[in-house]
């Protein structure tokens, strides 16, 4: 029987894991520190990890290890070169969060353009009840319809966002961070051209040497003062200090972030903006719709089924 350990169960939000636990002798840990990884993984055939890092040093001391099942799409929490050299299979789950992240992107755009959080707070604060005015125009409301939408990274999620944005009669263009030219349904633009053209910019590319701090002071300055930017990809693609300055100085109108350079984010200028309503932030939850989490769990189970004890 397979021996299976899940190092960070909390990352799946308390969902039913029976599809996984039924596959062998299972032990789950809510969280695992770097110092606990090796001891908890001794003698196991399968390690499940969402964000806990599995190093070469750890793998070299686990002769029974057959599979590292990543409870996510990104694989940067495993030394992949070492795993290949040691004959350890590494499998992620791709595609489970495409619709969830794409919907979160559209939701963020609509929320920012319509200033949803401001008006919700205005109502709940009692300010609306205290006035005799039926209407309140504290912040501008703009439609998504007809906007120029620039996509950075036209992969699976980027294409889904494009389809959804087209339903709002948006005009779509994209920038390829890899530099690879493909036949696409939308025109490609260089980054500065895209940024100066777009009313809405959304980021859907991986974090790598080409994309780290891709959006900094100069890039933000190239954007329209009425534009918004959304990052649901990886923290570190936008320079957060530069973004805070751009929001404070009204270089752009607003931003939505679901990912950050460090997670959780420690002290940051993003916590002390001149206008808090210029930033819509969420704690890395764009992927975590109910259906997506269940699909992820099933994907992990299917990956484990490819391994025999």
Q: Are 21 and 63 in the same domain?
A: yes
The pLDDT, as a whole number, for residue 182 is 82
Give the structural domain span for 241: 98-281
Q: Are 147 and 63 in the same domain?
A: no
The pLDDT, as a whole number, for residue 83 is 98
**47: CATH:** 3.40.50.720
Ordered mean pLDDT values, 10 residues apiece, the chain (309 residues):
97 97 98 98 98 98 98 94 98 97 98 98 98 98 98 97 98 94 92 98 95 98 98 97 98 98 96 98 98 98 90
Alpha carbon distance, N-terminus to C-terminus of the chain: 6
Q: Are 66 and 129 in the same domain?
A: no
The pLDDT, as a whole number, for residue 171 is 98
CB atoms within 10 A of CB 82: 17
Number of domains present in the structure of the chain: 2
Distance of CA 139 to the CA centre of its chain: 28
Q: Are 87 and 229 in the same domain?
A: no
The pLDDT, as a whole number, for residue 180 is 81
Which residues are marked as active site?
A: 234, 263, 284
Q: Are 155 and 245 in the same domain?
A: yes
The pLDDT, as a whole number, for residue 191 is 98
Q: Are 135 and 61 in the same domain?
A: no
Considering the entire predicted model, what is its pTM? 0.94
Q: Are 89 and 155 in the same domain?
A: no
Q: Are 164 and 221 in the same domain?
A: yes
- In angstroms, the CA 275 to CA 303 distance is 46
Name the residue among 299, 267, 260 with its Cα closest to residue 283: 260
Q: Are 137 and 86 in the same domain?
A: no
């Amino acid at each position: 029987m397979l021996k299976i350990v899940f190092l960070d169960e909390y990352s799946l939000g308390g969902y039913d894991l029976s599809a996984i636990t039924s596959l062998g002798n299972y032990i789950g840990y809510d969280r695992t520190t770097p110092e606990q990884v090796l001891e908890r993984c001794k003698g196991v055939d399968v390690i499940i990890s969402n964000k806990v890092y599995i190093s070469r040093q750890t793998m070299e001391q686990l002769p029974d290890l057959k599979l590292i099942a990543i409870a996510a799409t990104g694989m940067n929490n495993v030394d992949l070169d070492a795993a290949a050299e040691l004959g350890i299979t590494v499998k992620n789950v791709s595609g489970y969060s495409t619709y969830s992240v794409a919907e979160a992107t559209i939701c963020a755009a609509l929320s920012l353009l319509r200033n949803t959080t401001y008006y919700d707070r205005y109502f709940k604060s009692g300010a609306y009840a205290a006035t005799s005015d039926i209407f309140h125009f504290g912040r501008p409301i703009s439609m998504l319809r007809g906007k120029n939408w620039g996509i950075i990274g036209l992969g699976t999620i980027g294409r889904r966002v494009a389809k959804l944005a087209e339903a709002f009669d948006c005009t779509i263009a994209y920038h390829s961070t890899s530099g690879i030219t493909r036949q696409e349904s939308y025109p490609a633009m260089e980054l500065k051209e895209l940024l100066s053209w777009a009313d809405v910019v959304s980021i859907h590319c991986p974090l790598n040497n080409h994309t780290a701090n891709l959006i900094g002071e100069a890039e933000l300055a190239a954007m329209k003062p009425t534009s918004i930017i959304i990052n649901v990809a990886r923290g570190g693609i936008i320079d957060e200090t530069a973004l805070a300055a751009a929001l404070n100085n009204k270089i752009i109108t607003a931003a939505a972030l679901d990912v950050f350079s460090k997670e959780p984010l420690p002290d940051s200028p993003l916590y002390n903006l001149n206008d808090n309503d210029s930033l819509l932030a969420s704690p890395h939850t764009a992927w975590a719709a109910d259906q997506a989490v269940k699909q992820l769990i099933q994907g992990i189970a299917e990956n484990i089924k490819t391994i025999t004890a």
